[in-house]
Copies of this chain bind each other. A is one copy, B any other.
Amino acid sequence: MDGSGNSEAVVDLLGVLAYGELSAFDRLARDAELAPTLADRSALSAMATAEFHHHEQLIERLRELGVDPFEAMEPFVTTFDSFHESTAPSSWLESVVKAYVGDGIGSDFYRAVSEYLDPRTRDLVLEVCADTGHADFAVDKVRAAIAKDPSVAGRLALWGRRLVGEMLSQAQRVAVERDALADLLVGGAGDGSGMDLAALTKMFGELTERHAARMKALGLSA
């Protein structure tokens, strides 16, 4: 590590991703319990497992950079744990929507940020943000449920909005606490490697659009 703002930001980004994947594993594995059938439970567990393999790749990359991966994750534990506590699904469909919508927003965000990183880190981020099968599975399950009982659509749309709200408030907290990450976003790294305000605005616009597209795919209003 060269100690520059960007290196610190890279470690932070890999750390936040690595813990995010570990906690996604944990929550998906637990939510699998809500599955109505063994096949659904197995499918959600498969997604949990895919998240865990991303966690392993990120750990490996942090080790390559000479960083203790668990120290790099530590600052983000409270953030993710608070998010998951405040958005514990109360039904199988809520857990399916959370897996798809939550994973989708997270991945879009990390992908956008990865453009400002070194090629190797960027490639890894793009790889761990690839869809792990949440999309098709979630769309199938939610559409089938709405077809059977249209009244679930309203409740799930509200749930989607709550997920976004909780994610934004946690992201804001991270931005306040982690200067290096925030600098990457607002172009303050001093080396011109971060986003400028126009890029930031564009990114948020795209995140919102893509979120709306996912909600629409589920048959829900954003």
Contacts and interface: CB of A to CB of B under 8 A. Distances in A.
Contact of A42 (B32, B41, B45, B59): B59
B30 A45 contact: no
A204 interface: no
Interface in A9-33: 19, 22, 25-26, 29-30, 32-33
B52 A56 contact: no
Nearest to A32: B26
A154 to B, nearest CB: 32
Interface stretch (A69-77, A109-117, A140-148, A165-173): A69-77
Contacts of A176: none
Contacts of A56: 46
A45 B25 contact: yes
A37 interface: yes
B52 A49 contact: yes
27 contacts: A19-B38, A22-B38, A22-B41, A22-B45, A25-B29, A26-B29, A26-B32, A26-B33, A26-B45, A29-B29, A29-B30, A30-B30, A37-B70, A38-B70, A38-B73, A38-B77, A39-B70, A42-B55, A42-B59, A42-B70, A45-B52, A46-B52, A46-B56, A48-B52, A49-B49, A49-B52, A49-B53
